Chains A and B, each alone.
Chain A
Amino acid sequence: MWKLISVELYKIYKRPRTYIAFGAIAALIVVIQLGLKIDGESYSGFLMKDINDTLSIEGKILNGYLICYILLQLLLVHVPLLVALIAADMISGEANLGTLRLIFTTPYSRTQWVMAKFVAASTYTILLLIWLAFLALFVSIWIFGTDDLFLMKSNYVVLITEGDVMWRYVGAFVFAAFALMTVTSLGFLMSSLANNSIGPIVGTMSAIVFLTILSTLNIPLFSLIKPYLFTTHMNNWKEFFDLQVNADNEAIKGSILNIAKIKNSLIVLTLHIILFVGASVLIVKKKDILS
């Protein structure tokens, strides 16, 4: 199996398309970091304008941790689209090239090939996330330094002390890995259904956009299905940045407000991964390779 995974990783590594996503993420992050470095004062002033009269904040609000949070909010919505570029092409791209028949006449079962391709696509997704984490977190820390993380939620503010932040980011990135692997597996399923590259890529992107809209619309009819849509759960990495409070309304260090929500989301995402990959394996196993 490792042989097949290494072959698939090698093919991903050699494809020029692989680097589009890495380049796009780097370009976006650098532009945002540059903008905040040059004009961060007015940005933080804008953020604080409503609470400046009631709260007095000392220290550096616009630090590396906040920049990373802002970047994740902006990018984790779009990264799935970049993931789809590779994941949705893993099987259909080979069918389109005609190379599927080359690999399926080797002494390995189709299930082994599909699983190897999924592992390789997931590795790519995780590397993309590590790249995002490196640029968004560590480069931001390097440029802007560290301090307490001050977040403004819809009707309250959260202040997380400097020493209590890093593990939350680790948790958020692990959660994001599950979310993006769900997208990878959806792309994979689309890929197993087609013999060309464009259809599954566009199909995956459309499905994500469509399901995200359903997840965010507050219409009672959709509320019934919302808990079962993976897009409803993809943004729950933010739960790592909500703290429990004690009787004096003080934040409890090291706590998470709603850990059950995170667990539930991880279960839903994992079930989706199993469902999508399982369906892909079944489809490819039954498929006649005609291209």
Chain B
Amino acid sequence: MSVIEVQDISKQFGTLKAVDSLSFEVQQGDVFGFLGQNGSGKSTTIRMLLSLIHPSSGSIKLFGLPLKEHRNELLEKVGAIIERPDLYPYLTAKEHLQLFAKVRKKHITTSDINATLEKVGLSNRSTDRVQTFSLGMKQRLGIGIALVHNPSLIILDEPTNGLDPQGIADIRHLIQYLAKEEGKTVFVSSHLLSEIEQVASQILIIHKGKKVAGGATRQLLDPNKTIVHITTLNEEAALKAIKVSTFANYLLPRKDGIYFCMPQEQIPLLHKALVMADIPLLNVETKNSLEDYFLQVTSNTQ
């Protein structure tokens, strides 16, 4: 079942097209990594998913229902943290959760609130005012607000901002726990690509408001599609040798160097073939992380 269905949405701010005909689907139980550079349209898309921004065109469905017509009913099932953890400085952590529990249709008990505080590691600071909190603590409280009503869909925009390495690991474990143990759908955007790589089952990369890549993480980072970049003292000779070899099929049409997309087991053979052809090799670099993939697809569409 699709929890999120985005059909051809666009958002225009004056002359700037922040999101351009974007379509994607998120299935129930997915951890969906939403990636893009700064200004690529991630936050605008997330704000449209939460009806904070009205799309210029296109449609959004959550849980199979149009967001525009069923906004209130649908937002009851959604918990979200958007960009910065902006909170009321004069309220305590517990008061924040009580306040946001109150505006939910379902009854949320004090023990639910305490459990949420425990879940985000703020039990011992629950009665402290937020103005005394570090950025990381505010971020955790923001996640607590998103979780307090036990939503089916959790939208987290940069949830690891301001967190220390332990805090980042805690959020990663929390996302994994929410998806695996509680069957929740998590839509997460982050700049920490290594973190997304570890948790996301599906990935969507956008650039300048447009979708540039997407699919299952395993397929995108398929070892049969490892990116190989070679550096040589004589690029012209290298290309000449490659084009008459069996590796010509793996060559990528790039102008910024010699790149291949090939199965991992072929890499030693490529190395050997280049040496045998007397190509003065300086470096053979394999790129198969999400970061490499992200940089590859976004640089291709500059």
Please report A residues at the B interface, Cβ cutoff 8 Å: 3-4, 6-7, 10-11, 14-16, 97-99, 101-109, 286, 288-290
Q: Is B52 within 8 A of A105, CB to CB?
A: yes
**What are the residues of chain B within 8 A of A7 when measuring CB–CB?**
99, 102-103
Q: Is B90 within 8 A of A107, CB to CB?
A: no
Is the interface on chain B under 10, 10 to 19, 20 to 34, or 35 or more residues?
A: 20 to 34
Q: Is A106 within 8 A of B99, CB to CB?
A: no
Chief secondary structure at chain B's binding surface: loop
Cβ of B88 within 8 Å of any chain A Cβ, yes or no, is yes
Q: Is B76 within 8 A of A105, CB to CB?
A: no
B145 to chain A, nearest CB (A): 7
Number of A-B contacts (CB under 8 A): 75
Among B27-35, B77-85, B259-267, which stretch is in contact with chain A? B77-85
Q: Report the Cα distance A109→B74, complex, angstroms.
A: 12
Q: Report the Cα distance A117→B73, complex, angstroms.
A: 21
Which of A107, A109, A289 has the most chain B CB atoms closer than 10 A to its own CB?
A107
Q: Is B53 within 8 A of A3, CB to CB?
A: no
Q: Report the Cα distance A104→B72, complex, angstroms.
A: 10
Q: Report the Cα distance A101→B50, complex, angstroms.
A: 9
Q: Is A4 within 8 A of B103, CB to CB?
A: yes
Cβ of B180 within 8 Å of any chain A Cβ, yes or no, is no
Q: Is A102 within 8 A of B52, CB to CB?
A: no
Identity of the chain B residue whose Cβ is nearest the Cβ of A109 in the assembled complex: B72
Identity of the chain A residue whose Cβ is nearest the Cβ of B72 in the assembled complex: A107
Q: Is B103 within 8 A of A3, CB to CB?
A: yes
Q: Is A101 within 8 A of B103, CB to CB?
A: no
Identity of the chain A residue whose Cβ is nearest the Cβ of B74 in the assembled complex: A107
**What are the residues of chain B within 8 A of A14 when measuring CB–CB?**
88, 90-91, 95
A18 to chain B, nearest CB (A): 10
B216 to chain A, nearest CB (A): 29
**What are the residues of chain A within 8 A of B24 when measuring CB–CB?**
none
**What are the residues of chain A within 8 A of B88 when measuring CB–CB?**
11, 14, 97, 99
B200 to chain A, nearest CB (A): 22
Interface residue from A99, A105, A286 paired with B78 (Cβ < 8 Å): A105
A7 to chain B, nearest CB (A): 6
Q: Is B145 within 8 A of A102, CB to CB?
A: yes
Other A-B pairs, 5, CB within 8 Å; known A105-B80, A107-B72, A107-B76: A7-B99, A14-B95, A99-B88, A101-B50, A289-B47
Q: Report the Cα distance A97→B90, complex, angstroms.
A: 12
Identity of the chain B residue whose Cβ is nearest the Cβ of A99 in the assembled complex: B86
Q: Is A107 within 8 A of B104, CB to CB?
A: yes
Q: Report the Cα distance A104→B89, complex, angstroms.
A: 19
Interface residue from B52, B54, B91 paired with A101 (Cβ < 8 Å): B52
Interface residue from B50, B90, B95 paired with A105 (Cβ < 8 Å): B50
Identity of the chain A residue whose Cβ is nearest the Cβ of B145 in the assembled complex: A102
**What are the residues of chain B within 8 A of A11 when measuring CB–CB?**
88, 91, 99
B156 to chain A, nearest CB (A): 13
Of the A-B pairs whose beta carbons lie under 8 Å apart in the complex, a sample of 19, sorted by A's number, is A3-B102, A7-B99, A11-B99, A14-B91, A16-B90, A98-B84, A101-B47, A102-B100, A104-B51, A105-B51, A106-B75, A107-B74, A107-B75, A107-B105, A109-B71, A109-B72, A286-B54, A290-B47, A290-B53
**What are the residues of chain A within 8 A of B51 when measuring CB–CB?**
104-105
Identity of the chain B residue whose Cβ is nearest the Cβ of A286 in the assembled complex: B54
Instruction: Give 3 closest A-B pairs by Cβ, nearest first.
Output: A98-B86, A289-B52, A107-B76
**What are the residues of chain A within 8 A of B74 when measuring CB–CB?**
107
Cβ of B87 within 8 Å of any chain A Cβ, yes or no, is yes
Q: Is B84 within 8 A of A288, CB to CB?
A: no
Q: Report the Cα distance A105→B155, complex, angstroms.
A: 11
B149 to chain A, nearest CB (A): 9
Q: Is B102 within 8 A of A6, CB to CB?
A: yes
Q: Is B86 within 8 A of A102, CB to CB?
A: yes
Identity of the chain A residue whose Cβ is nearest the Cβ of B78 in the assembled complex: A105
Q: Is A99 within 8 A of B87, CB to CB?
A: yes
Identity of the chain A residue whose Cβ is nearest the Cβ of B76 in the assembled complex: A107
Q: Report the Cα distance A28→B38, complex, angstroms.
A: 53
Known contacts A14-B91, A288-B54; is A105 also within 8 Å of B75 by CB?
Answer: yes
**What are the residues of chain A within 8 A of B91 when measuring CB–CB?**
11, 14
Identity of the chain B residue whose Cβ is nearest the Cβ of A16 in the assembled complex: B90
